[in-house]
Amino acid sequence: MKKWSVAVFVAAAGLAFSAIPAQAAPTDIAPLPEPTTPSRVKDTTRTILVTFDQSQQDPKASAEAAVAEIAEAVAGASVASVQTINKTTVAVTLDSEISEFEADNIQARAEDVAGVKAVDPATIFYPADTDYETSLWNINAAMGRYSVAADAAWGTTTGAGVVVGVLDTGITEHGDLDANVIAGYDFISNSASARDGDGRDADPTDEGDLSGIAQDGTKTSSWHGTHVSGTIAALRNGSGVAGVAPDAKIEPLRVLGAGGGTEADLIAAIDWATGYSGTNPNPVDVLNLSLGSQDGRPCSYAMQAAINRAAAKRIPMVVAAGNSNVALSKSSPANCKNVISVTASTYTGGKASYSNYGTAAMPATIAAPGGSDTPTSCPGIIGECGWVASTWNRGTTTPGGSWYGFMAGTSMAAPHVAGVAALLKAKNPSWGPAQIAAAMRGSANRMPSCTAVTCGTGVVNAPKALTVTKFFTWKKNPSISGKYKVGKKLTAKVGSWSPQPTQFSYQWLRDGKVISGATKSKYKLVKKDKKKKISIQVTVFGPVGYAYRIAVSSSHKIK
């Protein structure tokens, strides 16, 4: 299977800001296998079709004689069965699979046999449309504990009536997505970057971003916006993939072209999408930004102002944390206030190695499936459970036919959260960003080895989020009492909450990382703690309908 290596790069020098797709770099983009049963099509066969010049008195014997000796010599395979198809064509099946090279060799030699017109390795055919939905590890509840479990939420809502703005590379035509795509806009002001011969216009078609490098060294395009859009709202139609919110609408907002995108274009797109400026006939309900900067700068005043304007309109803004395995404070707009920052999780619920992470000064909001940085096969799953499958395009530099592909990154994680936000918006239209975030954070599947600060409260879970109707508030943060010295015992104080929680759970942290087994209200300091910073993470639970709430105390250095 051909793979395209991706080298993501920033815009030309001189621009004040550059945004890039927040997929893992480097990683691979790969098309899904052609429609198959759960295992991939192999370039092997067991059956050889032998066609004669004319009818044979004993076609089975003639066909076996034409193939048997050659197959044994070329591949060490013996004839297992022979079946007559018609008067001139016979299928000879061998007792073991032969490779494409061996089949070609047998074909060339057998066609020299007197009376043989043609010899063909038999092809295996499958239904023209294959439904990958049931094997999507990131979407389907049955595929594992750390999926979004969106299919279990569709009995409540599928996101109908919600518009999700996707600020990305634009979009390409796709039969599994077109019905959910509404009019968007191309905000790329530089015609060379846009690759469409002009500046801003009403056509958000992705003309190709030339962000990848193929194995032969030529440039390729990522079709990033199409992949992201499919994760949010690919149709649930019994064919291909399905999105988290399969009845939500996608408004494509093209801000990334060849060389990335500028902050000016991004802000313009946010303001148009939310109805603050311009004449957008369909203002968005949710925004997805699977992009980020690489310059380490803080959130700019202008960007923060645009985000605040969206928040004032009660529009949640979902932003990829970034893929440099550094603090998300170094990637804008993930480091802006009033955003839902999303880290990437793997099939097993761990933090993806490339994913940026939160810190005490700037915690991450939540995690979602982004895939690992290496492909992994899992039983019952078509393709890879290490990557995320979604809608894609067959083109290399410019758009081609529609297909499906695998990608990995926080770019792939963010649209899962945007999709769940769309489900929540459909059920609770009056909710704003804070309530949307609290519902997702307070119902997430907690990760076994990552804290609420580093990865967010856990992996977003759609059906659990939809059960949330009430929220805790805290008046006083958790704290620690005791002497901060090795050998001494510390005690957690849960703080003050409203209403009073019915249950608490504890997790002690060393330099912000989980201390294995330290899950009681008291903790005795050990030698490993010396010169480290200790804190307590407290989770509070309430009656049915309440989101759980996590808070972390200040840290204390141990003597």
Distance of alpha carbon 218 from the chain centroid = 25
SS3 per residue for 489-549: EEEEECCEEECCCCEEEEEEEECCEECCCCCCCEEECCHHHCCCEEEEEEEEECCCCECCE
CB 518, CB 499: distance < 8 Å: no
CB 453, CB 410: distance < 8 Å: no
Q: Which of 30-39, 111-120, 151-160, 284-293 has the lowest mean pLDDT?
A: 30-39
Identify whether 402 is a catalytic site residue.
Answer: no
Cα–Cα distance for residue pair 387/373, rounded to 1 Å: 8
Question: What percentage of the chain has pLDDT greater than the value 70?
Answer: 90
Query: Confidence band (pLDDT; 50, 70, 90) for 125?
Result: low
Active-site choice (193, 206, 221, 224): 224
Which has the closest alpha carbon to 448: 350, 359, 515?
A: 350
Identify whether 224 is a catalytic site residue.
Answer: yes
Cα–Cα distance for residue pair 364/334, rounded to 1 Å: 9
Mean pLDDT of 53-78: 90
By DSSP bridging, strand 317-320 and strand 340-345 are: parallel
**pTM metric for this prediction:** 0.78
pLDDT at res. 381: 77
Mean pLDDT of 238-266: 95
Q: Which residues of 284-301 are buried (b: 16+ CB within 10 A; e: fewer)?
A: bbbbbbbbbbbeeeebbe
Q: Compute φ and ψ for 269, nearest 5 degrees.
A: -65, -40
pLDDT at res. 2: 24
Contacts of 19 (CB under 8 A, 6+ apart): 11, 255, 256, 260, 261, 262, 263, 266, 291, 292, 293
Residue-level length of the chain = 559
3 state DSSP class of 347 = coil
- As annotated, the residues of the chain forming the CATH 2.60.40.2700 domain(s) are 473-557
Provide CATH code, domain 4-37+129-466. Answer: 3.40.50.200
Query: Confidence band (pLDDT; 50, 70, 90) for 17?
Result: very low
14 burial level (CB within 10 Å; 0-12, 13-18, 19+): exposed
Q: pLDDT tens digits, residue range 507-524?
A: 999 998 889 899 999 999
Active-site choice (151, 168, 206, 271): 168
Provide CATH code, domain 473-557. Answer: 2.60.40.2700
Angle at the Cα of 548 from the Cα atoms of 543 and 552, rounded to 5 degrees: 140
Contacts of 517 (CB under 8 A, 6+ apart): none
**46, pLDDT greater than 70:** yes
Amino acid identity of 209? D
**124, pLDDT greater than 60:** no
**166, pLDDT greater than 90:** yes
CB 364, CB 352: distance < 8 Å: no
pLDDT at res. 16: 29
Active-site choice (193, 229, 345, 411): 411
Tokens 């958000």 label which residue? Answer: 204
Maximum CA pair distance of the chain?
A: 98
User: What's the mean pLDDT when you consider all of the chain?
Assistant: 87
Query: Confidence band (pLDDT; 50, 70, 90) for 332?
Result: very high
**301, pLDDT greater than 70:** yes
3 state DSSP class of 44 = strand
Identify whether 53 is a catalytic site residue.
Answer: no
pLDDT at res. 401: 87
CB 43, CB 100: distance < 8 Å: yes
Per DSSP, the residues of 428-448 read: -TT--HHHHHHHHHTT-B--T
Distance of alpha carbon 286 from the chain centroid = 18
**429, pLDDT greater than 70:** yes
CATH architecture of 44-121: 2-Layer Sandwich (3.30)
CB 276, CB 284: distance < 8 Å: no
Mean pLDDT of 300-318: 97
CB 377, CB 200: distance < 8 Å: no
Question: What percentage of the chain has pLDDT greater than the value 90?
Answer: 64
Query: Confidence band (pLDDT; 50, 70, 90) for 3?
Result: very low
> Residue 97 corresponds to which tokens in the numbers above?
């699979």
- As annotated, the residues of the chain forming the CATH 3.40.50.200 domain(s) are 4-37+129-466
Mean pLDDT of 463-479: 91
Cα–Cα distance for residue pair 88/57, rounded to 1 Å: 10
Q: Which of 36-40, 123-127, 334-338 has the lowest mean pLDDT?
A: 36-40
Helix (H) or strand (E) holding 369: strand 366-369
Among the ranges 11-15, 79-83, 281-285, 357-361, which has the highest mean pLDDT value?
281-285
Contacts of 413 (CB under 8 A, 6+ apart): 320, 321, 342, 343, 344, 345, 352, 355, 367, 368, 369, 370
pLDDT at res. 226: 97
Query: Confidence band (pLDDT; 50, 70, 90) for 239?
Result: confident
> Does 228 or 497 have the greater pLDDT score?
228
Mean pLDDT of 396-403: 90
pLDDT at res. 272: 97
Query: Confidence band (pLDDT; 50, 70, 90) for 21?
Result: low
**266, pLDDT greater than 60:** yes
**83, pLDDT greater than 70:** yes
Which has the closest alpha carbon to 150: 426, 381, 336, 420?
A: 420
> Residue 381 corresponds to which tokens in the numbers above?
């799953």
**182, pLDDT greater than 50:** yes
SS3 per residue for 140-170: CHHHCCCCCCHHHCCCCCCCCCCEEEEEECC
β-partners of residue 250 are 164, 181
Tokens 């518009």 label which residue? Answer: 163
Mean pLDDT of 453-461: 96
β-partners of residue 229 are none
- As annotated, the residues of the chain forming the CATH 3.30.70.260 domain(s) are 44-121
Q: Which of 15-24, 160-169, 323-332, 476-485 has the lowest mean pLDDT?
A: 15-24
CB 378, CB 158: distance < 8 Å: no
Mean pLDDT of 29-39: 41
Q: pLDDT tens digits, residue range 185-214?
A: 999 999 999 999 898 999 999 999 998 887
> Does 474 or 349 have the greater pLDDT score?
349
